[in-house]
Amino acid sequence: MQTVFRGRHFITLRDYTKEEIDTMLDVSLDLKRKFAMGVKTPYLDYKTIFLMFFEQSTRTRNSMEAGIAQLGGHANYLDTSNMQIAHGESAKDTAVILSRFGHGIGVRNCFWEIGNKYIREMAENSSVPIFNLQCDLYHPFQALADLMTMKEKVQDVRRKKVSIIWAYATSHKKPISVPLSQALLFPRYGMDVCLAYPKGWELPDWVIEEARRNAEENGGTFTITHDEEEAYRDADFVIPKNWGSWVTNQSDAVVDDALEAQKSWKCTEAKMKLAKPNVMYLHALPADRGNEVEDSVIDGPHSIVYDAAENRLHTAKAVMTLLMNGK
């Protein structure tokens, strides 16, 4: 078990070894068990974390707020439109001051080619851990909770086929951070990862190169297909979720002709039947019901979306405990 975490930033799981990620999962499971038994966990008594959101949030905000409260601390929710950021205050100035006020800072900034740079600038100037609550490139809390959930369900995830599948949606032009983080993390655990999408929704080249290298080093595989049915076929886990065409098209337009041409990329009961009989359906939520997925799938017996959503609480608590503990 690795124990050197205190004071580190949590921007991407790429910054952590497998041993360190395993420790995060161990602590998550311990905290989940104690939560179920009603055991108090005052590991962050009187600690304060500031949660800065440039966008809306349900699971991330509430898992962090509830999590720090259950650890004995307090969260300050900060809508950045009501901060001096709206008047041009720099990431440096915000980071320096907030880090003197408390013990951690969480930031969600998903603006393309802005979010990760903003978070890293804050990290360079903060004296306390910076937590990435999702940016344009990474969503480490979501990927960690997904991994925890899969390991809970099957214990040994090695050589399990997990398919990360693009799905049609019209709610908004979503970041690539969820599939990107999954594509980098899952091969590190020896899974057979299949990335499926229509042409035009590619992930960055460096992601594909690193994912393939991670698979080779850890005894799994990483494949890409533009055939949706191939991704479903014999899968143990399917993760059909929309992401925007940011790599090839930086327009903010949500719906265009290219998107409308891909309406068939939808998770249906018929496609689920191509997978293994005990296949499990995952989604980071909120799902664009009726577009990304049929209600009968997300509400059906193969769905483990609510288990994964619950694990957002326990993984958040684990990461905060490991990074914010100490004097």
Degrees to nearest 5, angle at CA 180 with 174 and 183: 140
- Predicted confidence at residue 56, as pLDDT, reads 95
3 state DSSP class of 17: coil
Lookup result for tokens 């949500």: 254
pLDDT tens digits for 25-54? Answer: 999 999 999 999 999 999 999 999 999 999
Taking the C-alpha atoms of residue 24 and residue 1, their distance in angstroms, rounded to an integer, is: 10
How distant, in Å, are the alpha carbons of 64, 153, 234, 308 from that of 278? 32, 11, 10, 17
Q: Give which of 189, 258, 199, 182 is closest to 219, Cα–Cα.
A: 189
* Cα 159–chain centre separation: 22
Length of the chain: 327
How distant, in Å, are the alpha carbons of 165, 179, 280 from that of 283? 10, 10, 10
- The residue ranges of the chain whose pLDDT is under 70 are 326-327
How distant, in Å, are the alpha carbons of 63, 202, 232, 305 from that of 280? 23, 24, 11, 9
Give residues with Cβ within 8 angstroms of 54, minimum separation 6: 80, 107, 108, 109, 110, 111, 115
CB 144 within 8 A of CB 11: no
Comma-separated ranges of CATH 3.40.50.1370 domains in the chain: 13-139+310-324, 141-308
The tally of CA atoms less than 13 A away on the side-chain side of residue 75 is 25
- Predicted confidence at residue 204, as pLDDT, reads 98
Tokens in use for 284? 């980071």
Per CATH, which fold does 141-308 belong to? Rossmann fold (3.40.50)
- In the DSSP assignment, the letter for residue 202 is P
Taking the C-alpha atoms of residue 274 and residue 297, their distance in angstroms, rounded to an integer, is: 13
Please check whether the domain covering 13-139+310-324 is classified as CATH 3.30.2310.20: no
- Predicted confidence at residue 326, as pLDDT, reads 67
The tally of CA atoms less than 13 A away on the side-chain side of residue 326 is 14
Q: Residue 199, Cβ neighbours under 10 Å: how many?
A: 10
